[in-house]
Structures are given as structure tokens and as C-alpha cells.
Amino acid sequence: MQLQASPEQALQRLDSNDWWAGAGSLAADTMADHPGVSEALWQPEVREFRALLIEIGETLQARGTANPGISSWLLAFHNWNASEV
């Protein structure tokens, strides 16, 4: 599904529990152990991934109908990235 072809459907999908609802969500995957790469390579990748999720989550919140899990994840992502976790 393309954002340009069906923006509302794409935004609904980005706002789904698959992305934001606890264990098993894409957001929770940012806590996974590194997949066989060095910690020095893995941590910057995870921080960049979190930054992308922050951008998506803040965009969804600005629309006013964000998934209830987003606010907790945004707080965690901001704190973790600021602490270089």
C-alpha cells in the first residue's frame, strides 16, 4: 500500500497495534538483541530506527487519533536515544 495512493489507509496501518501495542509490535522490536553484528554497529542502527518511529509516531499524534501505545513508546525512544541506549 502506498501512502500517495491511499493516504488514510496507509496512516491507519501505521497507527495499528502491529506497530505500537506492546510485546510483538514493531516498536518492541527496537529492544531486540543485536542479530550477530557488533554492538558498535547495532546501536547506531537501532537509534536511527527509533528516530524514524519517533517521526511516524509524532505525525500520527498530530493527527489527533493516535494509537494509545504511541505516547509511551515516544517517551521511551526519546529517553533511550538521548541516553545512547
- Tens digit of pLDDT for each residue in 48-80? 999 999 999 999 999 987 899 999 999 999 999
pTM, two decimals, is 0.87
Mean model confidence pLDDT for the chain: 90
Check residue 4 and give its pLDDT: 72
10-14 contacts, C-beta under 8 A, 24 or more apart: 11/60, 11/63, 14/56, 14/60
pLDDT tops 90 at residue 3: no
* Whether residue 33 has pLDDT greater than 90: no
